[in-house]
Structure formats: structure tokens, C-alpha cells
Amino acid sequence: MKINYLVLNRRKLIFLFFSSIMGLFDRTIKADQPGTENWALTNEEWKNRLSTEAYSVLRKEGTERPFTSLLNSEKRDGTFYCAGCELALFSSKTKFDSGTGWPSFWDHLPKAIDTKLDFKLIVPRTEYHCSRCGGHQGHVFPDGPKPTGKRYCNNGVALIFQPN
């Protein structure tokens, strides 16, 4: 009886140990990039989800015509979300008027974007996209204002603005 009791206890402990580890692991992933795995949509699914313009930018790395986005002149306090998956990408606190005709920011929210080199215009540019759904947002240039000196040149159609 005594041995059985010990074995049960040990099994219980092992079970508790592993379930707590798995629970932690699960939470870490969710806190980091909530639901990344849910955003592996097919082209058809993206087409159904997005407008033609947003699909062209987010999924085909298209570029909207300058001065066409209403977000260009958006000056209210708030947050800019990915139009693909609604992850928060930029704060209005980092928005500035670059005069380029595209909404511009000197920084992004933590862990919101990933970058890659793009050779479409021969001269390499740094492309950036939503870290959750991979949707193309724009390009980042080293001619922005302080404190970062960066200019995140974003397609307005790839963003959704939510005022505070």
C-alpha cells in the first residue's frame, strides 16, 4: 500500500510538472505572437478576406499610389493595426509627415514587424511585414527623424486606424 501510494504520487507530480511546463510554453507563444499558426491562409482565403487593393499590397507586395490614403493626414491619437490580421503595428506617437504621400512612422510597436531585403528596384531596400500574418506593409529607410532616424514608409491600405 505504501509503495502504491508513492508511485501514484510520483505519477501525479510528473503529470503536474509537465502540464505546468506545457501551460507556460503555450502562454509564452500566445503572448509573443498570438495565433501565428492561424494566419497561414491560402491566396483564395486572403482574397475573400481583403479588398482588392489591400490584397495587392499585403499579399503581393504591391504599392499604393501616393497621397491616396486618408491615413496620410490622420493626426489623432490612436493605434494603427495590420489590415490583414489586426495586430497592432504602430502608435500615433511615432507618426510624422514625411511629405512622401504615404503614412510614415519613425518606429513600430515591439515585435510587430519583421524585415527582409528587397531587390525589386535593383537598389536593395528593406521590406517590412506584419510579424503575425506576414502581410507586406512597406519599406524602411534610414532618413527618418530622431530619435531612431528611421522612416517606416507604410501603405495606408495595409493599415486600420483605431483612435483612442
* Of 112, 119, 118, 155, residue with least CA distance to 134: 112
Residue closer to Zn ion (CB basis): 85 or 157 = 85
Question: How many Å separate Cα 147 from the centre of its chain?
Answer: 22
Asked if residues 107 and 148 have their Cβ atoms less than 8 Å apart, the reply is yes
Residue closer to Zn ion (CB basis): 77 or 86 = 86
Residue closer to Zn ion (CB basis): 9 or 38 = 38
Residue 101 C-beta: closest distance to Zn ion, Å: 23
Of the residues 82, 85, 133, 153, only one is catalytic, namely: 153
- Which residues would be at the binding site for Zn ion (CB under 5 A)? 82, 84-85, 87, 130, 132-133, 135
Residue 84 C-beta: closest distance to Zn ion, Å: 4
Residue 154 C-beta: closest distance to Zn ion, Å: 13
Catalytic status, residue 153: yes
DSSP 64: P
Q: Which three cell numbers stand for residue 64?
A: 499604393
Catalytic positions, written as ranges: 153
